[in-house]
Each structure stands twice: as structure tokens, then as C-alpha cells.
Amino acid sequence: MRKGQIAVIGAGKWGQALHFALSSKQECFISSRTKRDIKNFVDLDFALSCEYLVIAIPAQEIRTWLKENFVFKNQKILVASKGIEASSGEFLNNIYADFVPDENIGFISGPSFAAEVIKALPCALVLNSKSKELYDEFSKFFPDFIKTYYSKDIIGAEIAGAYKNVLAIASGICEGLNLGKNAQASLIARGLVEMQRFGKHFGAKKATFLGLSGAGDLFLTANSTMSRNYRVGLGLAQGKSLELILEELKEVAEGVKTATAIEKLSNKYTIYTPIAKEVKLILDGKNPKDSLKDLIKN
């Protein structure tokens, strides 16, 4: 094992931004399934032999990626993805649990557009782990422009980070339909209540939804065209097909698949999730204006 060394796996927008940030205090490696012209780019075997790993591949790909590539050799891992597996409705921490013990894993949450992190603009992140030791070790790698906080509420952080993507789609729809700022603020506020209610069912803490991981990331993502999920919503409101929107986006918008996962889990456990349900229906072809009427009525 490469003791003390750190590598990011996944060289998309977030992986590259984290690689930039984590390179500010020491050498940080990066790996991806396709070779990239990035400083310190290494092959996957090299990356996997580092003691510290930050995994930034999309949520829907994680199970397969772990099965095909990962062998646990006591590495310490930070998960940077934000989503819920759509095919199973499984949370990422449960998927990772088959491969990595609790004390070796943490999850990043909080408001963090890659495009700003890669410019070294200040931000605050939460590193969520059962192990404070793991937090202490990883937080030392972060640059001065990122303030890190510790939390043990993994499920809360995970749900907040995934759910806000679905709400960002809803907010983009609201903007695209020109419904006004009152409507948008109402939607975001009710969305926060909705994701907290959903989280409560799975044991998440209320405080997580009121802090960086919940309100912080929701307010960011649901208010800006910098968000891919928000832009999906804008496109839907403009009458574009989901297929075309995703083709134009060329990057992952986790809210699309996470809406399916939330629908599955809400149906299974009878959790009231009206906004996420309408987003799912719109993604499946419902007219957004009809959704709005139904949302106000119910």
C-alpha cells in the first residue's frame, strides 16, 4: 500500500475539482476509466494502492464499479457521489458496506459546485463518517479555502445530497414556467420539509437538513443554472424531451435516476413525497403545468 498517499477515482467535473483541491497541500493522484491529460493521472491499479481514496463516480455506476474493480486492502475512502441507486432503491452507504467496513468510509456533503471549487473559491463541506479518526485524517488533506465539518449522520447527509437534486429539477421547472420567485421559494421550503420527512423515516437527523448538507446544498442547487439538475428542470419546462436534455448536458444529473429511487422507497414505506412524485411523473412525460395544478390541489 502507498502509505499516506491519496488518489481521486473518477475524472469528471467533481473528481477533477477535488483532485485540484486535494493537490494544494500534497501530491494527489487521479484515475479514470479513460486516460486523461491531467497532472498525476495514474492507472486504476496505482490509484487503488493508495491509502486514501476519494471516489467520484456517478451513484448509478457504483455497485458495478465496486464489483468489477475494487479489492479492499484497508484503504480509507471518501465517497463524493450524490444519489440513490434507482434499480434497487439502495443507499450508497449500504452498497459500500459490502466492500468496506464502517470505520474506513466517509461521505462528502454540502454545497459545492465543482466549477467554483476548481477556482479555489471558498466553501464549506461536511465529511460524514462513523469514525472521527477517519474525519481527522481526511480533513488534513483539504486546502485552506475549504472548511470541513464532521458529522456522524451518514444517512442524513446521503439523503439530503441525493434529494436536493430532485428538488433542483423541480425548481428549474418552476423557473422555466415563469411561476415567479414566490412560487420558487415556496417549492424550495416545502422541498426541505419533504426531504427531512423522507430522511426521518430512515433515521436521519433533523439538524442535518437544516445545515450545510440539507438547506445549504438545496439552496445552492435549486437556485442556479450552474446546477445540471436545475438545467434539466428548465429544459423540461421548455418542452424538451428528457433524452435531448441529457444528450445536450453531457454530464450526470443524478436527480433523474434518484427520482425513481425516491418513488420506489416512498411507495414501499408509504412516505408522503409530493414534489418528488411530480418530478418523477414529469420525467416520465407528464405536462409540467398539469403537475403544478396537482401539486397545489393536493
Ligand X SMILES: NC(=O)c1ccc[n+]([C@@H]2O[C@H](COP(=O)([O-])OP(=O)(O)OC[C@H]3O[C@@H](n4cnc5c(N)ncnc54)[C@H](O)[C@@H]3O)[C@@H](O)[C@H]2O)c1
Ligand Y SMILES: O=P(O)(O)OC[C@H](O)CO
Residue nearest to ligand X (CB): 12
Is 146 or 292 the residue whose CB approaches ligand X more closely?
146
Quote the least distance from Cβ 263 to ligand X, whole Å.
19
Q: Which of 164, 257, 264, 277 is catalytic?
A: 164
290 has binding-site annotation: no
Report the 3 state secondary structure along the chain.
CEEEEEEEECCCHHHHHHHHHHCCCCCEEEECCCCCCCCCECCHHHHHCEEEEEECCCHHHHHHHHHHHCCCCCCEEEECCCCCCCCCCCCHHHHHHCCCCHHHEEEEECCCCHHHHCCCCCEEEEEEECCHHHHHHHHCCCCCCEEEEEECCHHHHHHHHHHHHHHHHHHHHHHHCCCCHHHHHHHHHHHHHHHHHHHHHCCCCHHHHHCHHHHHHHHHHCCCCCCHHHHHHHHHHCCCCHHHHHHHHCCCCCHHHHHHHHHHHHHHHCCCCHHHHHHHHHHCCCCHHHHHHHHHHC
Quote the least distance from Cβ 255 to ligand Y, whole Å.
7
164 is catalytic: yes
Please state, in angstroms and rounded to a whole number, the distance separating the CA atoms of residues 12 and 121. 19
The partner in contact with residue 217, picked from ligand Y, ligand X, none with C-beta cut-offs of 5 to 8 angstroms by kind, is ligand Y
82 has binding-site annotation: yes
- Residues in contact with ligand X by CB under 6 A are 10-15, 32-33, 56-59, 61, 65, 80-83, 112-114, 251-252, 254
Task: Tell me which residue of 251, 21, 252 sits closest to 121, measured CA to CA.
Answer: 21
Q: Which of 168, 187, 245, 282 binds ligand Y (CB under 6 A)?
A: 168
113 forms part of the interface with ligand Y (CB under 6 A): yes
The partner in contact with residue 148, picked from ligand X, ligand Y, none with C-beta cut-offs of 5 to 8 angstroms by kind, is none
151 has binding-site annotation: no
257 forms part of the interface with ligand Y (CB under 6 A): no
Quote the least distance from Cβ 70 to ligand X, whole Å.
11
110 has binding-site annotation: yes
Q: Which of 16, 221, 273, 291 binds ligand Y (CB under 6 A)?
A: 221
4 has binding-site annotation: no
Is 50 or 275 the residue whose CB approaches ligand Y more closely?
275
Q: Which of 63, 76, 228, 277 binds ligand Y (CB under 6 A)?
A: 228
Residues 264 and 154: beta-carbon distance below 8 Å: no
Residues 53-92 that bind ligand Y (CB under 6 A): 82
Q: Residue 278 has which C-alpha cell?
A: 411530480
User: Which positions lie near ligand Y, rule CB under 6 A?
Assistant: 82, 111-113, 165, 168, 217, 220-221, 227-229
Query: Which amino acids are annotated as binding site for NADPH, given as ranges?
Result: 14, 33, 82, 114, 228, 252, 254
Provide the annotated active-site residues.
164
Query: Which amino acids are annotated as binding site for sn-glycerol 3-phosphate, given as ranges?
Result: 82, 110, 112, 164, 217, 227-229
